[in-house]
């Protein structure tokens, strides 16, 4: 009985999911182009040809990772958009939820930020369209804050890029077992960045 339950639990991580997770790990460490399907198969203890029973192509794995992360980023932002409060409060919340998505899966985030360019059309264009849309959320909050005199006057696109670049580096150094918790990182990063843009 116990064994049966154990097996059921184990099987919840499907082979396909195992492939996705291991690929995420390898794409992060070596990059998409430098990771071969034989690499991936060896790490899973199977032959390269066997991978194709579960996935259609190497690129499909990349697409899954990138679009899944895109969904997570958008989902995290939906609370912020409808939230009320000052531009300052909403920006801080936006920065924090963005960081939480990254710290929850730093490896998938790394692939999302660094390997998307290896997707072919039409996936590439769709991806870039989503990214633009996402970035405009930050630009809108910046614009509002500037109009309401909460933020310093600045080029909004420049501001957005400066804010997001700090957030989008987190996956390179954040360690779940490190001395700063995910929540620490989110709070401290957001505070520092808000202080940089707010009117004094």
Partner DNA sequence: CCTACCGATCGGTAGG
CA distances from 198 to 70, 86, 91, 117, 142 (A): 28, 12, 11, 34, 10
**In this structure, what token pair is assigned to residue 105?**
């899966």
Q: Least Å distance between CB 47 and DNA?
A: 3
The verdict on whether omega for the bond into residue 77 sits within 30 degrees of 0, i.e. cis, is no
Residue 154 partner contact from DNA, a copy of itself, none using kind-dependent CB cut-offs of 5 to 8 Å: a copy of itself
At what angle are helices 87-104 and 106-114 packed, to 10 degrees?
Answer: 100
Q: By the 8 A CB rule, do 59 and 52 touch? A: no
Interaction between residue 169 and a copy of itself (CB under 8 A): yes
- How many other CB atoms sit within 10 Å of the CB of residue 118? 17
CA distance 200 to 189: 18
Three-class secondary structure of residue 151 per DSSP: strand
Size of the site for DNA (CB under 7 A): 21
Q: Least Å distance between CB 1 and a copy of itself?
A: 48
Annotate each residue in 31-70 with x if it binds DNA (CB under 7 A) or - if it does not, as one string: ----xxxxx-x--xxxxxxx-xxx-xxxx-----------
Residues 6+ apart with CB under 8 A from 132: none
Annotate each residue in 33-62 with x if it binds a copy of itself (CB under 8 A) or - if it does not, as one string: xx----------------------------
Q: Which of 149, 155, 181, 183 binds a copy of itself (CB under 8 A)?
A: 155
**Burial letters for 145-167: b for 16+ Cβ neighbours within 10 Å, e otherwise?**
bbeeebbeeeebeebbeebbeeb
Residue 199 partner contact from a copy of itself, DNA, none using kind-dependent CB cut-offs of 5 to 8 Å: none
* CB nearer to a copy of itself: pick between 15 and 174: 174
Residue 176 partner contact from DNA, a copy of itself, none using kind-dependent CB cut-offs of 5 to 8 Å: none
Q: Least Å distance between CB 12 and a copy of itself?
A: 33
Q: Which of 99, 100, 103, 112 is nearest to 28 (CA)?
A: 112
Annotate each residue in 96-135 with x if it binds a copy of itself (CB under 8 A) or - if it does not, as one string: ------------------x--xx-----------------
Binding site for DNA (CB under 7 A): 15, 35-39, 41, 44-50, 52-54, 56-59
């Amino acid at each position: 009985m116990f064994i049966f339950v154990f097996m059921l639990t184990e099987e919840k991580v499907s082979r396909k999911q195992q492939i996705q997770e291991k690929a995420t790990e390898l794409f992060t460490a070596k990059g998409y182009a430098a990771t071969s399907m034989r690499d991936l198969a060896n790490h899973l203890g199977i032959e390269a040809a066997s991978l194709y029973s579960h996935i259609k192509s190497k690129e499909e794995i990349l697409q899954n990772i990138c679009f899944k992360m895109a969904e997570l980023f958008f989902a995290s932002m939906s609370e912020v958009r409808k939230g009320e409060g000052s531009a300052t409060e909403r920006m801080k919340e936006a920065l924090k939820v963005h960081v939480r998505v990254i710290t929850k899966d730093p490896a998938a985030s790394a692939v999302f930020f660094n390997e998307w360019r290896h997707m072919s059309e039409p996936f590439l264009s769709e991806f870039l369209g989503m990214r633009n849309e996402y970035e405009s959320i930050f630009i809108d909050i910046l614009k509002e804050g500037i109009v309401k005199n909460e933020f310093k006057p600045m080029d909004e696109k420049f501001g957005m890029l400066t804010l997001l670049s700090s957030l989008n580096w987190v996956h390179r150094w954040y360690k779940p077992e490190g001395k700063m918790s995910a929540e620490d990182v989110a709070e401290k990063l957001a505070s520092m960045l808000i202080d940089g843009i707010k009117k004094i």
